[in-house]
A and B are shown apart, each in its own frame.
Chain A
Amino acid sequence: MLEGKAVIEDTDMPDKMQIQAMASAYEALDLYDVFDCTSIAAHIKKEFDTKYGSGWQCVVGSSFGCFFTHSKGTFVYFTLETLNFLIFKGASYLI
């Protein structure tokens, strides 16, 4: 069981969804080793696709930078233990 606590760095997500994001992360870290970033990301992405519809993206790691376009209200970036988590839905809106 993890003793660390997740810290939200940036988000435009509803609170309930944020909680789900962190819960999914805790769950993934119970299932997979901390070095298996791809499996952790896969677990979280699939969870979100199931709960909130398809098109979610997830990046997990200790050293990365990124730029992306996300749907409104679907972005969260947080840290937990030694890892950083980025979750967002990849569609963008056009007029």
Chain B
Amino acid sequence: MEGAEEELERRSKFLKSLIQKKKTIEQQEQHDHLQHNNVRVRACDMPLPLQSRAFRCARDLLDSMPPKKLDSKRLALTLKKEFDSSYGPAWHCIVGTSFGSYVTHSLGGFVYFSIDKVYVLLFKTAVEPLDHS
């Protein structure tokens, strides 16, 4: 009887770890799925790490917003501030469902992508020294 209890516990632990692994795999697949299917780069002149940073930041914030309610301004603010503090001034961000733009940007500081049904334009411009005249 003691041996039977040990065997049951061993099997129980094995099953639990199996279930946990399956959940982890499913979560990873869902993550990849979301990334792959919901973020699409439309135009870009930006190193990959910065791109990934922008996508992750946008994804996290959109997920935290109530479904079907887009706060363009908040997303634009969040992205601009994150990039200003991480990669230096001055970044600009436009978010929306219907706009066109024409901009001049710094080399390596431009990405235009869509995530869900929102379009995001994030770009950097040069910083000029203060005129002391």
A binds B: yes
Q: With an 8 A cutoff between CB atoms, is B126 at the interface?
A: yes
Q: Which of B74, B96, B102 contacts A41 (CB 8 A)?
A: B102
A33 and B133 CA atoms in complex are apart in Å by 44
A42 and B104 CA atoms in complex are apart in Å by 10
A39 and B102 CA atoms in complex are apart in Å by 8
Q: Which residues of B contact A93 (CB under 8 A)?
A: 127-131
A61 in contact with B103 (CB, 8 Å): no
A90 in contact with B125 (CB, 8 Å): yes
Q: Which of A38, A55, A69 contacts B102 (CB 8 A)?
A: A38
Q: Which residues of A contact B129 (CB under 8 A)?
A: 93-94
Interface members, chain B 83-132 (any A CB < 8 Å):
84, 89-104, 121, 125-131
B101 in contact with A68 (CB, 8 Å): no
Q: Which of A38, A71, A94 contacts B100 (CB 8 A)?
A: A38
Task: Say how far B100's CB is from chain A's closest CB, in angstroms.
Answer: 3
Known interface pairs A91-B125, A91-B128; A63-B96 also in contact (CB < 8 Å): yes
A49 and B103 CA atoms in complex are apart in Å by 11
Q: Which residues of B contact A71 (CB under 8 A)?
A: 128
Q: Which residues of A contact B77 (CB under 8 A)?
A: 67
B92 in contact with A90 (CB, 8 Å): yes
Q: With an 8 A cutoff between CB atoms, is B73 at the interface?
A: yes
Task: Say how far A62's CB is from chain B's closest CB, in angstroms.
Answer: 5
Residue of A nearest to B84 (CB): A69
Q: With an 8 A cutoff between CB atoms, is A25 at the interface?
A: no
A45 and B76 CA atoms in complex are apart in Å by 21
Q: Can you identify 16 A-B contacts, CB atoms within 8 angstroms?
A: A45-B104, A56-B104, A57-B101, A57-B102, A60-B99, A60-B100, A61-B99, A63-B99, A64-B72, A65-B74, A66-B73, A66-B94, A67-B92, A68-B94, A90-B103, A91-B126
